[in-house]
Amino acid sequence: MLFRGDIPTPALLLDLDAFEDNIETMAAHLKARHKAFRPHGKTHKCPEVARALIGAGAVGCCAARLSEAEVFAAHGIKGLLVTTAVVGKDKIARAIALAQQAPDTMFCVDDEQNVREINDAAERGKPMKVLIDLYFGRTGIEPGEPALRLAQSIDSLPNVVLEGLQSYDGQAAHTTPFTARGARTNGNMAKAVETKALIEKAGIRCPIVTGGSTGTYRFDSENPGMTELQPGSFIFMDLDYGKIGGPDSDQYRDFKNALTVITTVVSTPPGFAIVDGGYKAFSTDRPFAPQPLDLPGVEYGWAGDEHGRLDLSQASRRLTVGDRVEFIPPHCDPTVNLYDHLHALRGDRVEAVWPIAARGKSQ
Amino acid sequence: MLFRGDIPTPALLLDLDAFEDNIETMAAHLKARHKAFRPHGKTHKCPEVARALIGAGAVGCCAARLSEAEVFAAHGIKGLLVTTAVVGKDKIARAIALAQQAPDTMFCVDDEQNVREINDAAERGKPMKVLIDLYFGRTGIEPGEPALRLAQSIDSLPNVVLEGLQSYDGQAAHTTPFTARGARTNGNMAKAVETKALIEKAGIRCPIVTGGSTGTYRFDSENPGMTELQPGSFIFMDLDYGKIGGPDSDQYRDFKNALTVITTVVSTPPGFAIVDGGYKAFSTDRPFAPQPLDLPGVEYGWAGDEHGRLDLSQASRRLTVGDRVEFIPPHCDPTVNLYDHLHALRGDRVEAVWPIAARGKSQ
């Protein structure tokens, strides 16, 4: 039997109690509002996590990339939605192979030439299911008339079938304060719902409007036009999402921190403890550092690819070589993408070690 | 036959001509100064790269961590040096197993209790080879008397044998300008050489002084007391090292950029091109963004885990969906650590695809 203290460090830990609570909170919230729940797999890249979510009522799993979706499909995950356009001859051929293996898979499109290439490559009688990706600041085609014209193109082609709209606003997810976040997502999702109406008015079937995030789910789930939500980070949480604020606090308390990185003190030069986690153990895309647990007065400082520096001048206790220190990572998705395994803990006992099978699958 | 344009993106590319030039430059420089060359494997984590370096005269390969060294050993790489202390019962047992498999492996130590644990766990008659890690701002024990006392402890124990001093100053590597860098490394390496003399005066064998980096090799290689250098990044280079400055420029021109990340334009909202590389495709630990090749007037902006945004308002040419854009990464080591393969190119032809076998091996 393996315990927290036995895991070789640095390692990624999942608190199963917090993780299960987070899933239940989100699943119950969406079920009560009759929204489909297709959580984003780019956060966890782990088939066992996808299965836990489907077990709680999710209709499937989003994937940021084709190669990520291929891994989920190989592990038997149904209801896949690939949220980045599949571009180029080789990837289109792989997307078609994936759809043959997992026929309910949906693919995002935003470019007419790309749609034609998919149509031309697809097998007759086995149309590829597509969602139009709407532009709210990153990828996509503009809502309204431009999206309608793309829907009409899709409708005119025999081997692609429109399933609806991908309506994801990445910037809304982290907009603060809470009220500004609501205003932003409500405004953009209204454009998505209007676009659906425009397409349907043109006689084209467009059943799905999917989008939303851990930051916006409370708003999007109240929008009668949205049919499904695809939040990701709520299962783990991170420092970044903790700071976005909620309805009554500058902290976001809807979900619990379930994900940590455990490290070991490997050196204790005067005044410091050096842990074995650096740029290769934590995400570095946010302007703040990992937060140590149970070490009041101690801050983490980056110390290169493989090390972090804890300044002990204000520490409430000493640290010696071999001590273990756990941290909440700044940003969950890119942290998970550094590790091959997720150690799922019940208390201090390792209940399972889950392969992060789609780690690095960004292609 | 696979070509540059066929590689699924995002992907890591190596320009073999530049890579081989870089190796030859460093190897010739060190050979002319009679310094052993033990390049750091944490940069590449790739047994084929380690073999190329050994083929050019390297005496072995440094590894930042035990698990990284285990991978190199499993691929037949000799002359390993593990540059982080091996802490705790389980890792010490693995280190002993590694030393049995690869008997010339050396391990860094800086803590007397840790040394005793290694000694107690090692097999009689098969002493573990250790280097004392000297403190110059990150890990290690202070040079001079503290290091001497640790050397005396090692000398008093039957199953550990002192091979010398690990004398790495990570901050010196990126100190600018060039003259300040020289002053810093010369000052610290002098302390290392003095410590070696102190230990030898006490009658303890201490043959090796190893350290240095891509930033400091010109200085360290002129230091008569240093016996070997362990630079890493020179094989690939990156934006960060390009900025540290050389003897006659604020650019560092000793080595060529051999490492790039290739991406594809997946969406073209008005005014922008969105490429399929974001936080999961590039290192994010430096305060600057990936630099596009052959796109004057265009800057990369981060757009989340999987995307980057190219502002085309000043672009010299249009970009359309499916176009490919290559970038020099900000920092090579953590970028390499995101990928499973290195595509080794001769011109536009993929000559080999090398597994980054120790990717993620930070334990």
pLDDT tens readout for residues B255-274? 999 999 999 999 999 999 99
Together in a domain, B300 and B231: no
Residue type, A155: D
Q: Is residue A128 part of a domain?
A: yes
**B-chain residues near A133 (CB < 8 A):** 267
Q: Rounded to whole angstroms, how far apart are CA atoms A237 and A253?
A: 10
Check which CATH number belongs to the domain holding A270 and give it.
2.40.37.20
Task: Decide if A309 and B138 are in contact by the 8 Å CB cutoff.
Answer: yes
pLDDT tens-place string over residues A127-167: 999 999 999 999 999 999 999 999 999 999 999 999 999 99
Residue where a domain terminates, one of A178, A213, A237: A237
Q: Please tell me which of the candidates B139, B141, B306 has its beta carbon nearest to residue A307.
A: B139
Q: Which residues of A250-259 are buried (b: 16+ CB within 10 A; e: fewer)?
A: eebebbbbbb
Task: Decide if A360 and B359 are in contact by the 8 Å CB cutoff.
Answer: yes
Together in a domain, B231 and B167: yes
Together in a domain, A152 and A185: yes
Together in a domain, B215 and B278: no
pLDDT band at A312 (very low <50, low <70, confident <90, very high): very high
Q: Please tell me which of the candidates B84, B141, B142 has its beta carbon nearest to residue A306.
A: B84
Together in a domain, B230 and B283: no
Together in a domain, A225 and A322: no
What pLDDT was estimated at residue A13? Answer: 98
Together in a domain, A145 and A224: yes
pLDDT tens-place string over residues A22-54: 999 999 999 999 999 999 999 999 999 999 999
Task: Decide if A337 and B142 are in contact by the 8 Å CB cutoff.
Answer: no
Q: Is residue A44 part of a domain?
A: yes
Q: Rounded to whole angstroms, how far apart are CA atoms B83 and A66?
A: 38
Q: Which domain does A330 fall in, by range? A: 4-10+253-355
Q: Is residue B41 part of a domain?
A: yes
Together in a domain, A335 and A281: yes
Both tokens assigned to B206: 């201490």
What's the mean pLDDT in B18-23? 98
DSSP state letter for B359: T
DSSP state letter for A134: B
Q: Rounded to whole angstroms, how far apart are CA atoms B341 and B156?
A: 45
**B-chain residues near A338 (CB < 8 A):** 337-338, 360
Check which CATH number belongs to the domain holding B187 and give it.
3.20.20.10
Interface mutation target, options B43, B285, B353, chain A, most CBs of A under 10 Å: B285
Together in a domain, B261 and B199: no
Q: Please tell me which of the candidates B111, B270, B306 has its beta carbon nearest to residue A321.
A: B111
Together in a domain, A140 and A61: yes
Task: Decide if A266 and B84 are in contact by the 8 Å CB cutoff.
Answer: yes
The residue of chain A nearest to residue B109, with distances taken between CA atoms, is A267
The residue of chain A nearest to residue B6, with distances taken between CA atoms, is A90
Q: How far is B88 from chain A (nearest CA, A)?
A: 6
**A-chain residues near B268 (CB < 8 A):** 111
The residue of chain A nearest to residue B331, with distances taken between CA atoms, is A305
Residue where a domain terminates, one of B237, B268, B288: B237
Q: Is residue B63 part of a domain?
A: yes
Q: Please tell me which of the candidates A87, A135, A322 has its beta carbon nearest to residue B88.
A: A322
- Structural domain count, chain B: 2
Averaged confidence pLDDT in chain B: 97
Q: Rounded to whole angstroms, how far apart are CA atoms A23 and A12?
A: 19
Residue B316 scores a pLDDT above 90: no
Neighbour-count burial of B50, counting CB atoms closer than 10 A to its CB (0-12 exposed, 13-18 middle, 19+ buried): buried
Q: Is residue A307 part of a domain?
A: yes
Q: Rounded to whole angstroms, how far apart are CA atoms A163 and B47?
A: 47
Both tokens assigned to B108: 């860094």
**A-chain residues near B360 (CB < 8 A):** 280, 338-340, 359
pLDDT tens-place string over residues A263-286: 999 999 999 999 999 999 999 999
Together in a domain, A169 and A282: no
Hey, CA dihedral for A35, A38, A44, A48, is it positive or negative? Answer: positive
Together in a domain, A232 and A269: no
Q: Rounded to whole angstroms, how far apart are CA atoms B190 and B200?
A: 15
Longest dimension (CA), chain A: 73
**B-chain residues near A82 (CB < 8 A):** none
